[in-house]
A and B are shown apart, each in its own frame.
Chain A
Amino acid sequence: MGFQTVGKSIWRLDGEKKVRGQALYTIDLKKEGMLHGRILRSPVPHARLVRVDTSEAARLAGVHAVLSRDDFPEGGPLSPFFGRRMKDKTVVALDKVRHVGDVVAAVAAVDVETADQALRLIEVEYDELPLVSDPVAAIEAESPQLFDHLPEIKNNICHHTTLKQGDIDKGFEESDIILEDTFRTPVAQHCHLEPHMALAWFDESGRLIVHTGTQTPYGVRKSLAEIFRMPEEQIRVVVPYVGGAYGAKSHLKVEHLAAALAWKAKRPVRIQLRREEVFLTVTKHASVVRMKTGAKKDGTLMARKAELYYDTGAFAENGPNVVHKATLTSTGPYRIPHIQADGFCILTNKPSAGAFRGYGVPQVALAYETHMDALAERLGLDPVEVRIGNLLREGDRHPTGATMHSVGYEELLRKLGAAIQLGARRKGRGKRRRGRGIACMIKASNTETQSEAKVQANRDGTFTVLSASVEMGQGAETVMAQIAAEELGVRMKGVTFVPQRPDTDLTPFDAMTTASRSTFCMGNAVRRAAKNLRDRLVEFAADLMEISPQDLRVDNGRIFAAGAESKGFTYKEVAARYFARNQEELIGKGFYGDEEDQKTVLPFWLVGGCAVELEVDTETGAVKLRKLVAGSDAGKAINPRLCEGQVRGDATIGIGQALLEELQFVDGQPVNASFLHYTLPSFQDVPDDFPVILVEQPHKDGPFGAKGLAESALPAVPAAIANALHDALGVRIKRDQGAFKGSNSSSRFTSRTT
């Protein structure tokens, strides 16, 4: 099938605006009478709140509102409780603080300096409680509890997922080789360049208006409706351009605080977090993963036991779902007959961990891909072939029951292996040693969620795409326009597609811009909307031409009679004639996720991998990447350049997490929560040789075969680097401590902890 627009690397529609500094972000918005909000945060990780006295702060000139627990009396106008998975969070701390940075109070004042001064006048008395810091220790019965009033939480565990298949004991009995190891990964932060920011006010009719850089405008609206005890329709959430998000901007982050201050001050309030606060707002889960893998001599996987301990910090946030999804894919993209996997989402006195690109998969992929590499090494097999031999294939059933489809692992793995000449692996010698490694990953998306879109033909020949998919740098606006253009049968050149950015008053419902779902879910909605509009245009043209719509064709923005190309109209002409007759909108609607879709659509899998060649200075441990190849199955790359950008950006975050990043805590205090001390990868930290491989195994239900890919490289990068380090040094990146509970079998291969 030849495409006109799909598959073309057109320049992104927002590119010029962004390069010229003309694109508007939340920080660019101002409102008459706007106040500035600042937040008082807990300096201690775990304490009972004895006293919060805001009286002096409230008296300071220039202060318009001070928000504290006194504003949330039982049965008061505002409800303090919210939370993505359980109502464990409160707008401000009520009786306890649970991490350094927990919100104690907030101030709205004429400027930031006055607000800061007011924060220093708030008197707070803390009665410190014992610290819970280690997730594995936290679940012991004698450990201090973060929550005692929520029935969902027991022994600091706020969620437990189990995945079972076959007979795990039998699986290990039938195995010729068993590997068992413990892996640890640290806390990381998203480091989106635009900090969390929101501007909120109540308009003259009492509606709450919020402008915010969120990934989930409809989710924010719903949660605000609960807090303010208002119908959702009384709230309007508008999302300007977003300067990076990676999961950190889903659901309430600062919106509720800006809105509550605006409610109290009766003035618009804007809150912009400082970088130091961003680090305390949401993070990536630190993890301890215990993994045991059994296989036959020929490399056939027999059994997998996994225990995932994910440190979700002080509040559940998205943690339960992160752990759920990570546990369900802890077998990797492989066929394993006997499985027992348990994932625990554990509360500790750290900032909340939530959604972060990869959604729990990088932590567990490090474990299963290290085991695949160790298996190949121990059995003397080729690391690519041992993976390919165990792959879940097209049509196979995943342990969760889902069907495998559009999974181009074999092609991807072969290309990755060839790209770094993995066959030429050998242990290095001398002070500088080189190594090569490979890894792949699998991640589920959330194709069961819903999206709606509208595509409108305007009288000037332009089209408006109304979609609540957030443009946060990934290129959603451009891809949606390409999908609409392809379906409408117009070329992008010379035709203007105007994006209507997310505004809950204007753009139809979209579940969220997360989980790499937009191209698939919203893409389908946009495609259907465009088809709906095309049908209307063709129908109208058929009327004009007094011909049956079936006899009309569309190409390059023209509707014409089949076989008589000169007889017809351009879309612009059709629109002009249409609007000359009536003023009704010319709009097409499309919805994705209805009952029919739920029944027939196969979920899409994020399919990715990474191959690395590196050099280690054995005298200092410094690692230099010489080459990194990141690969993904795009289904169909709607815009290959944007796809490559996504994969390369994704891999770059993976490089950071593998080699540079760790948010460190000492006694519950973050010690490097700033860009001065938290090292992010820069252009000088990525290898000069950094190609991207795109594989295309079309998805039957994706728009033009496309699916998401923005999280397919990152999870494989740390594992590939760990495997390359082993190739160079003979050392596995893991922790030896801690076997399974009740298990006395120790690791059958030993190595040094690094």
Chain B
Amino acid sequence: MVLIRHQLFFPTELISLKRIAGLDRITFDENEGLRIGALVTHAQVEHSPIVQQHCPALAQCVHHVGNLRVRNMGTLVGDLCQADNHSDPAPLLGVLGARVRTRSLRGERLLSMAEFHVDIYETGVKEDEIVTEIVIPPPAPQACTAYLRFSGNSPIDWPILGVAGSLVAEDGQCKALKICVGSLTAVPLGFDSEAEELKGKKLTPGMIKKFARACAARIEPIDDTRGSEWYKKKVAEVYIRRTVETLAK
């Protein structure tokens, strides 16, 4: 709807999914994890006891989407499908290992976030498919998850960048780290190879700094009214560092 409003997209027909039963649910089971239906609004995600219990970072993250009106009307699946690169939930769903379930006459598919995000305003969903839900696997025990966003001088603006991270640590040693940065590039960017380097090591301030620098070096941010490439790279380093510091605490 945002794209129509901004005259970037001219559909001739619009089909509402509102009356399809079952798409408005949030459920959790030990096997598949958290499932969020296509009609679930951001506000419902934010206030859902199920989400708050099993994925508190997501409940906190969607609070930053748009404004109260948008969160009451817009859906999490809709936010993903619009595929604007300034999505707050997208990088977080990346580190959570979320998958998108699609359905068509041909059957069902489960897309990983890497398969789902193709480009700005472009997803891996085929023309004859609809997205029915997002599936977030149960988190590893002891995993900490965080999402830090930066939107310049205004806390409620679109993010200049958002950094999602998840960490499993034991005695201050990194067992598994995932970092995903949103908004800066066409699709959320993961840093698995850089994170691999930290495995089994102690997360000292120096290590974290080095890691952040290595990640930022690989980012080629799109420059726009919210900042130049140079500036965004600098801030990315700061926020990747802060995210890992938050997780390590």
A residues with CB within 8 A of B: 619-624, 659-660, 662, 664, 671-672, 674, 676-677, 679, 681-682, 684-685
Whether, in the assembled complex, B192 has its beta carbon less than 8 Å from a beta carbon of chain A, the answer is no
> Given A620-B235, A622-B150, A664-B225, do A676 and B6 touch, yes or no (CB 8 Å)?
yes
- A-B interface contact total, Cβ < 8 Å: 43
Known: A619-B238, A620-B238, A674-B6. A685 touches B225 (CB 8 A): no
Given contacts A622-B152, A674-B6, 9 further A-B contacts (CB under 8 A): A619-B235, A620-B234, A620-B238, A624-B153, A660-B154, A676-B6, A679-B157, A681-B154, A684-B154
Q: Is B214's beta carbon under 8 Å from chain A? A: no
B residues within 8 A CB of A664? 225
Bound-complex Cα distance A664 to B228 (A): 13
Known A620-B235, A677-B225: A685·B156 in contact at CB below 8 Å: yes
Whether B158 lies near A676 (C-beta < 8 A) is: yes
Q: Are A682 and B238 in contact (CB under 8 A)?
A: no
CA distance in complex: A620, B152 (Å):
8
Contact check, A660 vs B153: say whether CB atoms are below 8 A apart.
yes
Interface residues of B in 53-91 (CB under 8 A from A): none
Q: A685 with B158: in contact, given A620-B235, A672-B225 (CB under 8 Å)?
A: no
In-complex Cβ contact of A685 among B2, B154, B224, B235 (8 A): B154
0/1 per residue, B221-247, Cβ < 8 Å to A? 000110000010011001100000000
List the 10 closest A-B pairs by CB distance, nearest first.
A659-B153, A672-B225, A619-B238, A679-B157, A620-B235, A684-B156, A685-B154, A679-B154, A684-B155, A664-B225
Give the CA-CA distance A622 to B154 in the complex, in Å: 9
Docked pose: A377 CA to B152 CA in angstroms: 29
Q: Verify A685–B155 contact, CB threshold 8 A.
A: yes
Query: Can you list 30 A-B contacts with CB-CB less than 8 angstroms, sorted by A residue number?
Result: A619-B235, A619-B238, A620-B150, A620-B234, A620-B239, A621-B231, A622-B150, A622-B152, A622-B153, A623-B153, A624-B153, A659-B153, A659-B154, A660-B152, A660-B153, A662-B225, A671-B225, A672-B225, A674-B6, A677-B225, A679-B152, A681-B154, A682-B154, A682-B156, A684-B154, A684-B155, A684-B156, A685-B154, A685-B155, A685-B156
Interface string of B141-166 (1 = CB under 8 A from A): 00000000010111111100000000
Least CB distance, B102 to chain A, in whole angstroms? 28
A681 to B2, CA, bound (A): 21
**Considering the chains assembled together, what is the distance between the CA atoms of A676 and B234 in angstroms?**
24
Interface residues of B in 1-39 (CB under 8 A from A): 2, 6
In Å, the complex CA distance between A623 and B153 comes to 6
| Interface SS of A by simple majority | loop
Minimum CB–CB distance for A114 against chain B, Å = 16
Which residue of B has the minimal Cβ distance to A274? B7
How far, in whole Å, are A624 and B238 apart by their CA atoms in the complex? 17
* In the bound complex, CA of A685 to CA of B2 (Å): 24
Q: In the assembled complex, how far is the CB of residue A358 from the closest CB belonging to chain B, in whole angstroms?
A: 20
Q: How far apart sit A681 and B235, CA to CA, in the bound complex (Å)?
A: 22
For A681, list chain B residues within 8 Å (CB): 154
Interface residues as binary, B87-113 with A (CB distance below 8 Å gives 1, 0 otherwise): 000000000000000000000000000
Cα A621 to Cα B156 in complex, Å, equals 17
CB distance from A512 to the nearest CB of B (A): 33
Instruction: Write the nearest CB–CB distance from A135 to chain B, whole angstroms.
Output: 21
Please name the residue on chain B nearest to A625 by beta carbon: B153
On chain A, the residues within 8 Å of B153 by CB distance are: 622-624, 659-660, 679, 685
B225 to chain A: which residues have CB within 8 Å?
Answer: 662, 664, 671-672, 677
Q: Name the residue on B nearest A116 (C-beta).
A: B7
B contact residues around A662 at 8 Å (CB): 225
Residues of B within 8 A of A621 (CB): 231
Contacts of A685 on B, CB cut-off 8 Å? 153-156
List residues of chain B with CB within 8 A of the CB of A684: 154-156
Docked Cα-Cα span, A662 to B157, in Å, equals: 14
Residues of chain A within 8 A (CB-CB) of B235 are 619-620
A671 to B224, CA, bound (A): 9
How distant is A455 from chain B, measured CB to nearest CB, in Å?
Answer: 43
A345–B193 Cα distance when bound, in Å, is 57
Q: With A and B bound together, what is the CA distance between A619 and B6 in angstroms?
A: 34
Chain B residues lying within 8 Å of A659, measured Cβ to Cβ, are: 153-154
- Closest A residue to B226 by beta carbon equals A677
Bound-state Cα–Cα, A596 to B84, Å: 64
Contacts of A622 in B (CB 8 A): 150, 152-153
Residue of A nearest to B239 (CB): A620
Q: Complex Cα distance A61/B172, Å?
A: 73
Q: How far is the CB of A230 from chain B (nearest CB, A)?
A: 37
| B157 surroundings in chain A (CB, below 8 A) | 660, 679
Give the CA-CA distance A682 to B157 in the complex, in Å. Answer: 10
**In whole angstroms, what is the CA distance A652 to B154 when docked?**
13
> What are the residues of chain B within 8 A of A674 when measuring CB–CB?
6
**Which A residues lie within 8 Å of B155 (CB)?**
684-685
Residue interface bits B115-144, CB-to-A below 8 A is 1, else 0: 000000000000000000000000000000
Q: Chain B nearest CB: distance from A445 CB in Å?
A: 32
In the complex, what residue of chain B is closest to A663 when comparing beta carbons? Answer: B225
Q: Quick one: closest B residue to A677, CB to CB?
A: B225
Q: Please, how many angstroms separate the alpha-carbon atoms of A620 and B158 in the complex? A: 16
- State in angstroms the CA–CA spacing of A682 and B225 once bound together: 19
Q: Given the complex of chains A and B, what is the CA–CA distance between A281 and B207 in angstroms?
A: 53
Taking the closest CB of chain B, its distance from the CB of A720, in whole angstroms, is: 15
Complex-state Cα separation, A472 to B40, whole angstroms: 40
Closest to A619 in B: B238
Q: B241 to chain A: closest CB distance in Å?
A: 9
Q: Write the nearest CB–CB distance from B64 to chain A, whole angstroms.
A: 11
Residue of A nearest to B84 (CB): A676
- Chain B proximity of A2: nearest CB distance (Å): 46
Q: Report the nearest A residue to B237, measured CB to CB.
A: A619
- A619, A623, A664, A672, most chain B CB atoms within 10 A: A619
Alpha-carbon distance between A700 and B224 when the two chains are bound, in angstroms: 53
Could you tell me the distance between the alpha carbons of A660 and B238 in the complex, rounded to whole angstroms?
Answer: 21
How many Å from the CB of B135 to the closest CB on chain A?
Answer: 30
A671 to B225, CA, bound (A): 8
- Determine how close the nearest CB of chain B comes to the CB of A670; give it in whole angstroms: 10
Please indicate the chain B residues that have their CB under 8 angstroms from the CB of A679 in the complex: 152-154, 157
Q: How far is the CA of A660 from the CA of B153 in the complex (A)?
A: 7
How far, in Å, is A677 (CB) from chain B's closest CB? 6
Nearest CB on A from B3, distance (A): 11
Complexed CA–CA distance, A679 and B67 (Å):
13
> How far is B152's CA from A679's CA once the two chains are assembled, in angstroms?
10
Give B155's nearest chain A residue, CB to CB: A684
Give chain A nearest CB distance to B235 CB in angstroms.
5
* Min CB gap A404→B, angstroms: 36
* Interchain nearest-CB distance for B116 vs A (Å): 23
A684 to B156, CA, bound (A): 7
Q: In whole angstroms, what is the CA distance A419 to B231 when docked?
A: 35
Residues of A within 8 A of B239 (CB): 620
For the complex, give the distance between the alpha carbons of A620 and B234 in Å: 8
Chain A residues near B156 (CB-CB < 8 A): 682, 684-685
